[in-house]
């Protein structure tokens, strides 16, 4: 039996393959709300995942028994997009749950993007 990825290289492959195959879902309230607030679209999120150039662990509590990741890439509007995702298995199929769209304009105290 396979298990959710535990490193960025495998997470990047997983999220790209799952989205390309249409095996994704999203947090029903939070994700659409963040799309509106960040002025992004689902197509832009999917494009950013297809063009992902940065994947790192994301400090979120998994709800589907998977692992959580932050994925960054270029969206359809020429802006970088960061998405919080959970990667999980369902009947041996690799799935992605879109959890949030991250605001890249906000900085942490150390000056590093969140």
Tell me, what's the pLDDT at 91? 86
The model's pTM is 0.88
Q: What is each CA distance from 86 to 60, 76, 83, in whole angstroms? A: 8, 22, 10
Question: pLDDT digits over 61-92, tens only?
Answer: 899 999 999 999 999 988 999 999 999 999 88
Alpha-carbon gap, residue 102 to 93, rounded angstroms: 26
């Amino acid at each position: 039996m396979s298990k959710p990825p535990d490193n960025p290289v495998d997470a990047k492959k997983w999220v790209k393959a799952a989205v390309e195959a249409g095996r994704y879902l999203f947090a029903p309230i939070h994700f659409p709300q963040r799309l509106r607030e960040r002025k992004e679209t689902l197509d832009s999120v999917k494009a950013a995942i297809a063009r992902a150039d940065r994947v790192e662990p994301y400090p979120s509590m998994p709800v589907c028994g998977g692992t959580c990741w932050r994925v960054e890439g270029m969206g359809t509007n020429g802006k970088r997009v960061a998405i919080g995702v959970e990667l999980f298995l369902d009947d041996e199929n690799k799935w992605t749950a879109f959890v949030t769209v991250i605001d890249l304009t906000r900085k942490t105290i150390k000056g590093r993007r969140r």
